[in-house]
Each structure stands twice: as C-alpha cells, then as structure tokens.
Amino acid sequence: EPEVTQTPSHQVTQMGQEVILRCVPISNHLYFYWYRQILGQKVEFLVSFYNNEISEKSEIFDDQFSVERPDGSNFTLKIRSTKLEDSAMYFCASSPLTGAFNQPQHFGDGTRLSIL
C-alpha cells in the first residue's frame, strides 16, 4: 500500500539554525499538508499546499516557515531560524482530491525535531 515517507526520523538542531524537513507524498495525490504535534498535545494544522502554492495556513505558520515542492516527488518544510518552542513531531500528509470530494489525508510517521 502506498505511503507517505518522511526524512529524517529525528533531527536535532541548535536554536537559531535553519532546518529542512522532507516528505515524499503518495504519488498520485494532489494536496499536501504539514501538521505538528508538541509532546502531549493535539495534532495542529500548519499549512496546506495545492497546485504549487499555499492554499491555507494557520497562525503558527509565520514568516519563519516556508514550504516548497522542489521536484515532482518531494515536499519540504523549512524553518528559517528555529526556536525552542519549535520542538515537536512534524507530520506530512497528502490527499488525492479536495473540495466537494472529501478524501482522507494520509500521514507519514513524522520527524521528531529537537531544538537545543
């Protein structure tokens, strides 16, 4: 069964450094997402991406965050200058369609980001 894959599984970074989290969505999916889960808290939406542009973002997704689809398979989340409070599990998800044709979002196993 096709799945969303994320790398690395664990990233340790010094505060203030840039970090890039990588995802390979399911190949025929059109909609891509990033969510995060701070330890012991709910899964929170960050951003959705469709047709090579951001379609929606949350208040968490400030100027320090950016997303990119650099080629036909990868989808990345960049944090420009990491803060301690960015420590969390970051999940990538993808879905085939949107709008009236509601489709489930399928999640990867996440990248654990630890900021020191």
Partner 1 sequence: GESVGLHLPTLSVQEGDNSIINCAYSNSASDYFIWYKQESGKGPQFIIDIRSNMDKRQGQRVTVLLNKTVKHLSLQIAATQPGDSAVYFCAEKVNGYGNKLVFGAGTILRVKS
> Residue 82, interface with partner 1 (CB under 8 A)?
no
Please pick, from the candidates 27, 53, 72, 104, the single residue that binds partner 1 as defined by CB under 8 A.
104
Please pick, from the candidates 19, 25, 86, 91, the single residue that binds partner 1 as defined by CB under 8 A.
91
Are the beta carbons of 76 and 67 closer than 8 angstroms?
yes
Which C-beta is closer to partner 1: that of 18 or that of 55? Answer: 55
> Residue 7, interface with partner 1 (CB under 8 A)?
no
DSSP string, 14-83: -TT--EEEEEE--TT--EEEEEEE-TTS-EEEEEEEETTEEEEE-TT--TTEEEE--SSS-EEEEESS--
Residues 38-77, one symbol each (x = binds partner 1 by CB under 8 A, - = not), give xxxxxxxx--x------xx-x-------------------
Q: Which residue's structure tokens are 């505060």?
A: 15
Which C-beta is closer to partner 1: that of 93 or that of 113? Answer: 93
> Cα separation of 68 and 22, whole Å?
10
Candidates 19, 11, 13; CA nearest to 89 is 11
Which of these ranges, 11-19, 28-36, 68-76, lies near partner 1 under the rule CB under 8 A? Answer: 28-36
Which chain residues interact with partner 1 by CB under 8 A?
Answer: 4, 6, 31, 33, 35, 38-45, 48, 55-56, 58, 91, 93, 95, 98, 102, 104-110
